[in-house]
Amino acid sequence: MKSFVNVNPKSLDEAVAVLDRARAQGKKAALAGGGSDLLGMLKDHLVQPDLVVNLKSISGLEGVHREGERVRIGALTTLDEIARHPLLVERYAALAQAAGLAASPQIRNVGTLGGNVNQRPWCHYFRQGFPCFKNGGKMCYAVAGENQFHALFGGGPAFIVHPSDTAPALVALEAEFKVMGPSGAKIIPAEKYFILPREDVLRENVLGENEILAEVILPAAPSGLRSTYLKIRDRQAWDHAIVSIGAALEWEGGRCRKARLVLGGVAPIPWRVPNAERLLEGKSLGEALARQVAEAALAGAQPLAKNGYKVPLAKATVRRAVLSLLPAA
Amino acid sequence: MADNQKAVGVSVPRIEAREKVLGRSVYVDDLRREGMIWGKVVRSPHPRARIVHVDVTEARGLPGVVAVLTAADVPGDRYVGPLVKDQPILCSSSVRFEGDAVALVAATAEEVAETARDAVRVEYEILEPVLDPIAAMSPEAPQVQAGGNVASYSKLRRGDVEVGFRAADVIVEDSFSTQMIDHAYLEPEGAVAEVDAEGKVTIWVCSQYPHYDRQEVARVLGVSLARVRVIQTTTGGGFGGKFGSPLVSCYAALLAARTGRPAKVLYTREESLRTTVKRHPYRIHYKVGATRSGKLTAVEARFVGDTGAYLVVGRAVVGKSTSHGAGPYEVPHVKMDGYAVYTNKAPAGAMRGYGVPQVAVAYESLLDELARKLNLDPIEFRLKNVLREGSQTATGQTLLHSVGVAETLERAADARREMTPHLKTGKPYLKRGIGVGVSWHGIGAARSPSQATAYVNLCGDGSATVLCGSVDIGQGSNTLFSQIAAEELGVPLDQISVVTGDTLTTPDCEATTATRVTYLSGNAVRLAAEKAKGTALELAAKHFGCLPEHLILARGKVQVPDAALEISLTDLFKKHAVQQISALGVFSPDCTPLDPETGQGSPHATYGFGTHVALVEVDQETGAVRLVDYAAFNDVGKAINPQAVEGQIEGAVAMGTGYALSEGMIFDRGKILNPSFATYLLLTAADLPPVRVGLVEAPEPTGPYGAKGVGEPSMNPVAAAVINAIYDAVGVRIRELPAVPETVFAALKTRQPLPADR
């Protein structure tokens, strides 16, 4: 591991100033929340920052707070707290479930919401330091390599999948991200936060080098909202999704008023499937419609040589997710 | 322990449990010596390449760097290996796998050593690697080793399989492949070496065989065995991986000898996963025939074990597959052909099961297929064929005693009955099934002679010290030795001290491998304790004027039963001017080696057996498999410490289920992509149900108190049971391990019409 300077800012403004100064000086800075992913990346020489900005020294970045009908969640709130929080479990089940299915109990005890959302890809080639696009190189080794875990949608030039469990849930719940930068705070809808490799192959989101994800804001949960997060993985702890879905359906009089379906593990960003959502809207749900929705969700998938199994697997996941959200009779 | 209580056959906590729980056990990583330097290994990034030039100038010039060694700096022999000396300590002309060692650096701090490692410039001429073991067997394939890619060929010929298949009414035939897995012990490999003022070298290492490490270190340093002492530190697991690969000891010793300073080399997890020995991946083809009445007539098999860049113990692993490939069944006609083949991958070596788990998956799968074709229950079918007392094995060995496999099957049938009500899931896409796997394992290495030695020193107060070379690697043998000595000498467990794993003070007992320690070393300890007791009783017999066999030794006193006569050992020793009684126990099992042409012989004095039952749930839409319930029945001869035996079996089920469902090194053109516990998928507590363990005790007359062993017999049937359960659930035969969702899903796609809903 390369030596670095650890900075303990006392406020977000100070942290942003540190980042801004580092950028101006051509130094690399990394943000540490829980540190569970950063530490591994440091040890593996995947990131070699000159400074590490320790966000834990800033007070007020943790916790789940009600604000009127909205809920604000500090970026440093642990995944475990989110998974257990009664308000989230009740009203924003998809997020609580996603947090509870992320990583392992030990990692959930220290890992934060911000860290989970901003987690770097877990592509084998990227993590092994291959000179791939994500590591600043000029190819994606997965294209002709071991691509069983790679993207079905939105791939190219890199075919990574976004590793976060909470991100698809947050997009499905129409969350907003509060980002602090040199010119103050800005609010970005979760859906606009993540970017495809073809926009910038070195990043998975819009966060600038001098910006910090400070807070996640959940809008008022409308009456009739039901949401869930389903995750398929090779082992039942400490594993990323092969396929997952964050699903949020709003019901009114037995009909779906609005649907948000967001797939995880299939694209470089949380992958919303509007065509599938539209099939649900205005309808009452049954097995047949659920199958149509699943088909629509996977329409246009472009499997690589070894990840075709994800298509039917994702269809089953979509179908089960929407059926599990049938309104209470 | 009260006088009426026995030490053997009683569940006792590990003697080192307290130390471990309190964090006081000393592992290699805990060792610090004054002036210690840190060694790091420069490794090849290429699976196959010619070394053009090694430039160490920059690395040598870094502040804090005290040594940079290449092959030319090795003072003695440059190659190591338990069977064939084919693995270079440091490569000089070519590298044969990604991770092969090219140079060794040492510095005053670990970080500096890492920097120096990265500063060694190696120029390679990259060559096309040999990756597929079948292609490697072609004479046109590039040669991994000078002697050709086929490292070994082992045969078994019993009867005439042509005759056997003609007598069969049903024949099944199929191909299977198994993956490369790692032992994944909690503690990676490491060693500390120090040179004393006389130039003698001491090495502390986590190891399964310190005496072998000593041999290799002495050869590599070019010194006599007496100038090298190897001390085993508390060892956090071995499973075969810390036997037969003495490189880490050699590296620490080379650096200490070169610099005169204590040197530590500790592998990272990545280094351990990428470069140390693995379980052999196999390509397997089997053909099995049976009569309409359900009697096996013939088994024919051909398998290729990918031994990677170096042989390590590949020849013996494949040999074990050959001798065990017909399973614990009576089969009149058997033909086996096994090959160990070199490729440009991490060397495969010993791993729990030693070639048997691979072939067990194949033959147990085909026995299920046969049972179905014959319309027989899988357990009933096996019971018609299993070895019993008086049966002959495929190697022509007649088993006279301790053949408990039928009883494990009968118990398994009960367990299956108990599981049957849990087959329903209530969801159409979730299917459950029950599978059975049966296996066996010869106790001890398949050769002759093999020997274990122990000393017992009996003190005047009745307490005793046991000295034995067999090391405890976490499985509990030190506790077992205490129990045996306590049993023989009639004292509580805490009156026994056990010394193992120091080449200066303990005899060479061979390795802690091959499920051999309970049987061989346990016998040696028992014989030594019995002899020490015998000497004490002889002295007492003189004192009382009776025969020694009329006396008993308990709690430091010799007593005449049913009489009020007794004498303490203290008084007895004083009277005869004896300070302590030292006795030597030597045990050598009765075996005959296998004939190289026919594979016939009696390679093992006795065998452990097991039948395991798995209840799995398969998600037909995702291919995900979940283990729901598990019952394991193993014939261990006698459970000396039942709690430890249960622990061994539970661990084996976790390990074997990982082998069946999730574990595997993922390669891209010879490079390992998942050398991390985040990406190499060991199963966790969340993936495993409680394991129901049933002990069967068919006593082995030559074993200590009837005991045989359980380390490997508990491992071998697991994957077979799980794979057969998947078939029972969804009607697809998994032919390729691991059964990850993509593999299961691919199999489901090719399935014939769905089995009827339960």
Tens-binned pLDDT, residue by residue, of chain A (329 aa): 778 999 999 999 999 999 999 999 999 999 999 999 999 999 888 999 999 999 999 999 999 999 999 999 999 999 999 999 999 999 999 999 999 999 999 999 999 999 999 999 999 999 999 999 999 999 999 999 999 999 999 999 999 999 999 999 999 999 999 999 999 999 999 999 999 999 999 999 999 999 999 999 999 999 999 999 999 999 999 999 999 999 999 999 999 999 999 999 999 999 999 999 999 999 999 999 999 999 999 999 999 999 999 999 999 999 999 999 998 76
Among the partner-chain residues B674, B682, B740, the one whose CB lies closest to the CB of A124 is B674
A125 and chain B: CB distance < 8 Å anywhere?
Answer: yes
Cβ–Cβ contact A4 with B under 8 A: no
| Cβ contacts of B236 within 8 Å, gap of 6 or more | B27, B185, B186, B187, B206, B474
Mean pLDDT of chain B: 96
Q: Do B742 and A127 touch (CB under 8 A)?
A: no
CA pair distance B470, B704, nearest whole angstrom = 15
Can you give B279-341 as a three-state secondary structure string? ECCEEEEEEEEECCCCCEEEEEEEEEEEEECCCCCHHHHHHHHHHHCCCCECCCEEEEEEEEE
Beta strands in B46-88 (DSSP E): 49-55, 65-69, 79-80, 87-88
Tally of structural domains, chain B: 3
CA atoms of A189 and A219, how far apart (whole Å): 11
Q: What is the pLDDT of residue A107?
A: 96
What single-letter amino acid sits at B717? P
Which secondary-structure segment (H or E) carries B39? strand B37-43
Domain membership flag for residue B755: no
Residue A316's closest chain B neighbor by CA?
A: B621
B139 pLDDT band, cuts 50/70/90, is very high
* Chain A CB contacts of B686 below 8 Å: 235-237
Per-residue pLDDT band at B445 (split at 50, 70, 90): confident
Q: Which residues are CB-neighbours of B654 under 8 A, at least 6 positions away? A: B683, B688
**Average pLDDT value for residue range B404-411:** 98
Structural domain includes residue B148:
no
Residues B258 and B309 in one domain: no
Contact by Cβ (8 Å): B205, B250: no
Q: Given A235, A309, A315, which is nearest B742 (Cβ)?
A: A309
HSE of A223 in the Cβ direction (CA atoms, 13 Å)?
A: 3
First to last CA, chain B: 53
Chain B residues touching residue A124 (CB < 8 angstroms): 666, 668, 673-674, 679
- DSSP-assigned beta bridge partners for residue B567: B558
* B111 and chain A in contact, CB less than 8 A: yes
Question: Nearest-CA neighbor of B479 among B465, B464, B498, B495?
Answer: B498
**Token pair belonging to A320:** 């089960």
- Confidence bin at B268 (pLDDT 50/70/90): very high
Q: Same domain, yes or no, for B517 and B502?
A: yes
User: What pLDDT score was predicted for residue B563?
Assistant: 86
Where would I find the H helices in B633-730? 642-661, 718-730
Residue A291 near chain B (CB below 8 Å):
no
For position B752, what pLDDT does the model report? 64
- Please, which pLDDT band fits residue B3 given cuts at 50, 70 and 90? very low
Over range B752-756, report the average pLDDT: 55
Q: What is the model's pLDDT at position B448?
A: 66
Q: Based on the fold, state whether residues B474 and B573 are members of the same structural domain.
A: yes
Instruction: Fill in the amino acid letter for B251.
Output: Y
Residues of A in contact with B270 (CB under 8 A): 44
Q: Check whether residue B632 and residue B717 sit in a common domain.
A: yes
Strands ordered across the beta sheet of B121-126? B94-95, B49-55, B121-126
The fraction of chain B above a pLDDT of 90, given in percent, is: 96
Is residue B741 one of the residues assigned to a domain? yes
Give the end of a domain, one of B568, B587, B606.
B587
Tokens of A138: 């000029």
In 3D space, the residue among B442, B528, B504, B513 whose CA is nearest the CA of residue B471 turns out to be B513
Residue B291 belongs to some domain of the structure: yes
Query: Which tens digit of pLDDT belongs to each residue from B175-203?
Result: 999 999 999 999 999 999 999 999 999 99
Which stretches of B75-135 are assigned E, i.e. beta strand? Answer: 79-80, 87-88, 94-95, 101-107, 121-126
**Of A104, A128, A313, which has the smallest distance from its Cβ to B673's Cβ?**
A128
Q: What is the pLDDT of residue B686?
A: 93
Regarding whether B539 and B598 lie in a shared domain, the answer is: no
Return all residues near B131 (Cβ < 8 A) that are at least 6 apart.
B47, B343, B344, B345, B667, B669, B670
In whole angstroms, give the CA distance from residue A115 to residue B242: 38
Q: Sorting pLDDT into bands at 50, 70 and 90, what band is B751?
A: confident
Q: Which of A127, A87, A83, A123 is nearest to A103 (CA)?
A: A83
Does residue B687 sit at the A interface (CB-CB below 8 Å)?
yes
Please give the structure tokens belonging to residue A65: 């707070």
**Do B520 and B605 reside in the same domain of the chain?**
no
| Alpha-carbon dihedral sign for residues B502, B508, B513, B515 | negative
What is the Cβ-side half-sphere exposure of residue B446, based on CA atoms within 13 angstroms?
A: 28
A 56-95: CB under 8 A from B: none
**pLDDT at residue B564, as a whole number:** 87
Sheet with strand B333-342: strands edge to edge = B150-158, B333-342, B296-308, B282-290, B170-177
Which residue, of B266, B291, B309, is where some domain finishes? Answer: B266
In tens, the pLDDT along B542-577 reads: 999 999 999 999 999 999 998 889 999 999 999 999
Residue where a domain terminates, one of B215, B235, B266? B266
Please name the residues in contact with B582: beta carbons below 8 A apart, sequence gap of 6 or more: B455, B456, B457, B458, B532
| Chain B partners within 8 Å of A119 (Cβ) | none
What pLDDT, on a 0 to 100 scale, did the predictor assign at position B244?
Answer: 74
B478 lies in the same domain as B627: no
Q: Are A37 and A82 in contact (CB under 8 A)?
A: no
B662 contacts in chain A (CB < 8 Å): 234-235
Do B572 and B635 have their domain in common?
Answer: no
* pLDDT for the residue B2: 41
- B137, part of any domain: no
List of residues 6+ apart from B718 with CB closer than 8 A: B357, B437, B612, B614, B652, B653, B655, B656, B657, B659, B660
Tell me the pairing of strands B263-266 and B282-290.
unpaired
Main-chain phi, psi angles of B656, to 5 degrees: -70, -35
B contact residues 413-442, partner A, Cβ 8 Å cutoff: 429
Question: Measured in Å, how far apart are chain A's first and last C-alpha atoms?
Answer: 57
- Same domain for B703 and B602, yes or no, is yes
Q: What are the chain A neighbours of B621 within 8 Å (beta carbons)?
A: 312-313, 315-316
Query: Which 623-642 residues of chain B touch chain A by CB within 8 A?
Result: 623-624, 626
Residue B577 domain-assigned (yes or no): yes
Residue B327 phi, psi (nearest 5): 75, 180
CB A280 within 8 A of CB A257: no
ipTM of predicted assembly, 2 dp? 0.94
Nearest residue of chain A to residue B110 (CA atoms): A1
Report yes or no: B334 and B298 within 8 Å, Cβ to Cβ.
yes
Do B430 and B463 sit in the same domain of this protein?
Answer: no
Say yes or no: B367 and B408 in one domain. yes
pLDDT at A173: 98
Sign of CA dihedral B163, B164, B170, B173: negative
Q: Verify whether the Cβ–Cβ distance B746 to A309 is below 8 Å.
A: yes
A182-220 tens-digit pLDDT: 999 999 999 999 999 999 999 999 999 999 999 999 999
> Would you call B687 and A237 a contact, using CB atoms and an 8 Å cutoff?
yes
CB B233 within 8 A of CB B28: yes
In eight-state DSSP terms, residue B348 is B
User: Is the Cβ–Cβ distance between B603 and B596 less than 8 Å?
Assistant: no
pLDDT on residue B753:
60
Cβ-Cβ contacts under 8 Å, B623 against chain A: 309, 313
Same domain, B383 and B303: yes
Token digits for B189? Answer: 């490999």
- Domain enclosing residue B241, as ranges: 31-127+189-266
Which pairing describes strands B228-232 and A5-7: parallel, antiparallel, or unpaired?
A: unpaired
Domain harbouring B528, CATH code: 3.30.365.10
**Residue B52 falls within a domain, yes or no?**
yes
What predicted TM-score, i.e. pTM, was given to this entire model? 0.96
CB A296 within 8 A of CB A276: yes
Q: Is pLDDT at B758 greater than 50 in this prediction?
A: no
Q: CATH number of the domain at B210, please.
A: 3.90.1170.50
- Determine the Cα–Cα distance for residues B388 and B402; give it in Å rounded to an integer: 9
Which residue in chain B has the smallest CA separation from A315?
Answer: B621
Helices assigned H by DSSP within B84-238: 110-119, 133-136, 161-166, 210-221
B9 domain residue, yes or no: no
Taking only the tens place, the pLDDT of each residue in B103-113 is: 999 999 999 99
Residues of B in contact with A40 (CB under 8 A): 678
Nearest 5°: phi and psi at B250? -65, -40
